[in-house]
Chain A
């Protein structure tokens, strides 16, 4: 597994408790449209991602992230910057 694969696996695991509709999730899954998360669910999920990777994902950055793949990319960049 590459680092990115590991990050993806972690993100997928973190999505599960919030995936109330049981949607099949891959890198192209969109948080708002496919998972149908409201803004508060997103904030709650982001908090768990932040703690898992020890990074900060500001609400400004969240606005640019639509899909699972984009989130993994952001987490990779933020971890590298740290």
Chain B
């Protein structure tokens, strides 16, 4: 028998070598108890969470939790079916209504995860003779959406407007084109120059899809994302988003003003051939989305936290993914995987959880300690976090 898992031997070897150094498995952390959006008990120890996507801290919001409990009581634990058969409840309709209102758009389609939203929309929109043009640093769900479809895929260098424009100009003018961009790129936390990119895309006759997963709720005047902040939201054909970040539950969506949008419900396989979200999930999502419309103060505090952490880490001597804070993600660049893992462990011992990110998730083979802030982190917690970074950084030789 040819062992089909033998191809993973190099990864198994690398992992065993890393764990043999006595490191806690960075990809196997268990949260034994969760006290709040910013604190959990890990390995019996109180740990500040700085590696979640709980940007707006909605997971323990009393109204959100109450809505979920009520739906669980009234509609049961699950729908046991597809959205196009028995899986559309009143709650799914209310959730889509909340999204239409949040984005001020005509149509909203809720998927079971954000990953599936990209998978479904990209693979369905672009057919065999069409082109999908993507940024090299795109999220895995965008690459997988391309792989699921039959379109021709063209990649351009990260956030490079000229590279995008050149490629659009080399495409046959009469073909269908979909340019796929992200508002915030999640590894380095950098923002896309959407204004320029949307302009060159429209000039080339392309449709534009923007994934605003890491900006919803706190970037842009109404929290609609980077496209809103840069004043081009009206030129975006499709916005993809998720409930698993600022909204604080799970699920994905696409919103659009395209007059034929509703047909996608019948032709998009990752929408049709999977069970719909449980009633409690869509109820928490709808409640959370409506509360995010009025989250101005939280938004300001989150961006303040981001500035404070970015400035503090820079002052300590760490190398960061962006020169200025651009989002709620601050990436600390590590010299290599070994140092990154040692630093990650030292922070965990101090009582701080961050994400250890490594290739292939990261660009240019980088090892990153990725910090993502929450609107519920207090000013004192950010101070505490900086103290932990100082101590762990000196212990591991990352900073002087």
Contacts and interface: CB of A to CB of B under 8 A. Distances in A.
Nearest to B147: A59
B263 interface: no
Interface centre among A44, A47, A54 (most CB of B within 10 A): A47
B151 to A, nearest CB: 8
B171 A56 contact: yes
A60 B143 CA distance: 12
Interface in A1-60: 38-41, 43-44, 46-47, 50-51, 54-56, 58-60
Given A38-B360, A40-B359, A40-B360, A59 B155 contact: yes
B203 to A, nearest CB: 18
B166 interface: yes
B167 A50 contact: yes
Contact of A59 (B153, B157, B359, B360): B153
B360 A56 contact: no
Given A38-B359, A56-B154, A59-B146, A44 B166 contact: no
A39 B154 contact: no
A60 B163 contact: no
A66 to B, nearest CB: 17
Interface residues of A, number: 16
B156 A47 contact: yes
B365 A38 contact: yes
Given A54-B170, A56-B171, A59-B146, A44 B365 contact: no
Nearest to A51: B166
Contacts of A60: 152-153
Nearest to B363: A40
B148 interface: no
Contacts of A50: 166-167, 170
Interface in B357-379: 359-360, 363-365
Given A55-B170, A59-B154, A60-B152, A47 B136 contact: yes
A40 B154 contact: no
Specify the main secondary structure of chain B where it touches its partner: mixed
Given A47-B157, A56-B171, A40 B364 contact: yes
Nearest to B146: A59
A56 B175 CA distance: 14
A44 B359 CA distance: 15
A70 B136 CA distance: 23
Contacts of A38: 359-360, 365
Contacts of A39: 360
Contacts of B152: 58, 60
Contacts of B131: 58
Nearest to A55: B170
Interface string B150-185: 001111110000010011001100000000000000
Contacts of B154: 56, 58-59
Interface string B306-348: 0000000000000000000000000000000000000000000
A39 B152 CA distance: 17
A39 B154 CA distance: 14
Interface string B118-134: 00000000000001000
Contacts of A43: 136, 155
Contacts of B359: 38, 40
Contacts of A44: 136, 157
Contacts of B170: 50, 54-56
Given A56-B171, A59-B155, A40 B166 contact: no
* A-B interface, 10 closest residue pairs, ranked by CB to CB distance from nearest: A59-B153, A58-B152, A56-B170, A43-B136, A43-B155, A47-B157, A58-B154, A60-B152, A58-B153, A56-B154
Given A43-B136, A56-B170, A58-B154, 5 more contacts: A38-B360, A41-B365, A44-B136, A47-B155, A59-B154
24 contacts: A38-B360, A38-B365, A39-B360, A40-B136, A40-B360, A40-B363, A40-B365, A41-B365, A43-B136, A43-B155, A44-B136, A44-B157, A47-B136, A47-B157, A47-B163, A50-B166, A50-B167, A50-B170, A51-B166, A55-B170, A56-B154, A58-B153, A59-B153, A59-B154
Interface of B: 131, 136, 146, 152-157, 163, 166-167, 170-171, 359-360, 363-365
Interface of A: 38-41, 43-44, 46-47, 50-51, 54-56, 58-60
